[in-house]
Amino acid sequence: MSILSIPGLSVIHKNSMTMAPLALSPISSLLLFKSGSGPTGSKSYATTTTQDVTKNIKGKKKFKKESKQQRVTVKPLNSRKTFLIDYYKHLMESNSVILFLHYNNLLKQEDHFFRAQVKQTGGTLTKIRNRLFQVYLKNSKREDPCAPLNGDKCQLLTNHPLLPIFKGPTAAITFKESIPVNILKLSKVLEKAKSQDKLFIIGAQIDGQTFTLKDIKDYQMLPSKEQLNVQLVQILQSLSGVSLVQLLQSAPVGLVSNLESHVNNKPSSSSEGKP
């Protein structure tokens, strides 16, 4: 049996039962299905229009055109520089707390020790490349920091407040949630390394805001968000409870007492009529 079909034109040979591609012109509008080995030996016909074939060809061209549209970057898409800038973007946007540290001459054992200590506080230590991180900071407000600038330098943040701190080897410690007590624990962990000028905090970004060293010290002494929420609930309960009821009741009670005193002090009409 020989079969012709559109699209994906192919022929099945009755002897070898193998498929071979068959190219037909788009103007072909009639396909013949001939059964030579069937029990009846009859012929059947099927028709197709050139519009269907043209539509299929246009669909394939459109798919090829969309597949060719790729992300445009300054450096090659699969280069390490593009990867690192994308990673720094993820680092800054997916963490509430990012502490930047001076990372100086740590031995391998010291590095492993402090990484484990940082992990116990809920953080993650990552060494960063200053120049590439500065590139990200300058392009951090753009949708794609790796894309060409196309001459519009107004999009660059050349005065980003974190830019000046990147001098010498730098690392970042990130926390998913902004919990001040974790920063306090981390500060205690880093005290030993700080005394040797090996690992100490130089700046931070917390909840999207740039923090100085003084800001970090003040922040780590704050209560956590959960504690603040509990305190707020207690204040609201005190205001909405007995105190608020007493405050609302005091006004009508005072009004009633004033009216009663006024009625009691008012002279009667009979006494007013006597000579």
Q: What is the pLDDT of residues 152-203, one digit of tens each?
A: 778 899 999 999 999 999 999 999 999 999 999 999 999 878 777 889 999 9
Q: Is the pLDDT assigned to residue 270 strictly greater than 70?
A: no
Q: Is 143 helix (H, G, I), strand (E, B) or coil?
A: coil
- Nearest to residue 173, comparing CAs of 113, 123, 210, 130? 123
Helix or strand run (H / E) with residue 250:
helix 242-265
Provide CB contacts within 8 A for 148, sequence distance 6+.
72, 73, 74
Where are the CATH 3.30.70.1730 domain residues in the chain? 80-226
Q: What is the pLDDT of residues 231-249, one digit of tens each?
A: 888 777 776 655 655 666 6
Which DSSP symbol is given to 53? Answer: H
What gap in Å lies between CA 186 and CA 123, rounded to an integer? 9
For 20, the token pair is 């071979």
Angle at 96 between CA 95 and CA 102, to 5 degrees: 75
- Nearest to residue 28, comparing CAs of 61, 53, 3? 53
What gap in Å lies between CA 267 and CA 254, rounded to an integer? 22
Task: Say whether the peptide bond before residue 7 is cis (omega within 30 degrees of 0).
Answer: yes
What gap in Å lies between CA 48 and CA 9, rounded to an integer? 13
Q: What is the pLDDT of residues 117-143, one digit of tens each?
A: 999 999 999 999 999 999 999 999 999
**Alpha carbon of 158 to those of 25, 143, 175, 236, 267: distances in Å?**
60, 17, 26, 45, 85
Residue 25: per-residue pLDDT: 45
> Binning pLDDT at 50, 70 and 90, where does residue 83 land?
very high
Helix or strand run (H / E) with residue 98:
strand 97-103
17: left (phi over 0), alpha (psi -120 to 50) or beta: left
Q: Is the pLDDT assigned to residue 116 strictly greater than 50?
A: yes
Provide the whole-model pTM.
0.61
**CATH among 3.30.56.10, 3.40.190.10, 3.30.70.1730, 1.10.760.10 for 80-226:** 3.30.70.1730
What gap in Å lies between CA 178 and CA 212, rounded to an integer? 16
Residue 180: per-residue pLDDT: 93
Q: Which long-range contacts (CB under 8 A, 24 or more apart) does 103-109 make?
A: 103/127, 103/169, 103/170, 103/171, 103/198, 103/199, 104/168, 104/169, 104/197, 104/198, 104/199, 105/198, 106/193, 106/198, 106/199
What gap in Å lies between CA 103 and CA 28, rounded to an integer? 73
